[in-house]
Amino acid sequence: MKVIASQIRKGNILEVEGKLYAVLVAESFHPGKGTPTTQIDMRRLSDGVKISNRYKTTEQVERAFVEDRDFSYLFADGEGFTFMNTENYEQLIVSKDVVGDAAPYLQEGMVVRLSIFEDQAVGIVLPQRMTLEVVETEPTTKGQTASSSFKPAILSNGVRSMVPPHIGPGTRIVVLTDDGSYVERAKD
């Protein structure tokens, strides 16, 4: 199915010159003068080669037909990550290459959306936000009360994030799964 380049998002699967590519980053640029463009960084599914293409934002791009289905995460082992279809309870093993940066955020029983192409998982979409606990962080320095100052912290899943000075170890916080950035203190 053809779509315009500006509609492409991270996680979409594109067909370029007969090969399938997973979109890693899609950014649209609108210069003051000249033609708006969309820069798309992609990874070829067959061998993992990364490429970067630039399109005019109105240019047509071939989006591969993939089926998005909800799966529940079960466990990880040497073969990869095992997910279960929430409708028919079939299990699917997804390679480490497909899961990529999402691996630290996976928790047992978590429901994620997998993009399926010819019975193979080619992409994963996590919930946008997650609640995690701060395991380790620097103590607050007296006088460091400026709202724009942040300090490094290590979360319960091992990911490093920047948190405000008032957050200490043991505090539960909400983070974005895209980049691990702090959103707010958890309300639970």
Q: pLDDT tens digits, residue range 6-17? A: 888 887 888 888
- Which SS3 state, helix, strand or coil, does residue 2 take? strand
Average pLDDT, the chain: 87
Q: What kind and span of H or E run contains 96?
A: helix 96-99
Q: pLDDT tens digits, residue range 92-145? A: 998 887 888 888 999 999 999 988 887 888 888 888 899 999 999 888 766 655
Cα 166 to Cα 100: distance, rounded to the nearest angstrom:
32
Contact (Cβ atoms closer than 8 angstroms) between residue 106 and residue 94: no
Cα 126 to Cα 128: distance, rounded to the nearest angstrom:
6
**Does residue 146 carry a pLDDT above 60?**
no
**Does residue 75 carry a pLDDT above 90?**
yes
Q: What is the CA radius of gyration of the chain?
A: 20
Name the token pair of 96. Answer: 């480490």
pLDDT for the residue 83 = 94
Band (pLDDT 50/70/90 cuts) for residue 91 is very high
- Which SS3 state, helix, strand or coil, does residue 108 take? coil
pLDDT for the residue 121 = 84
- Is this structure's pTM higher than 0.75? no
User: What mean pLDDT comes out for the span 165-175?
Assistant: 90
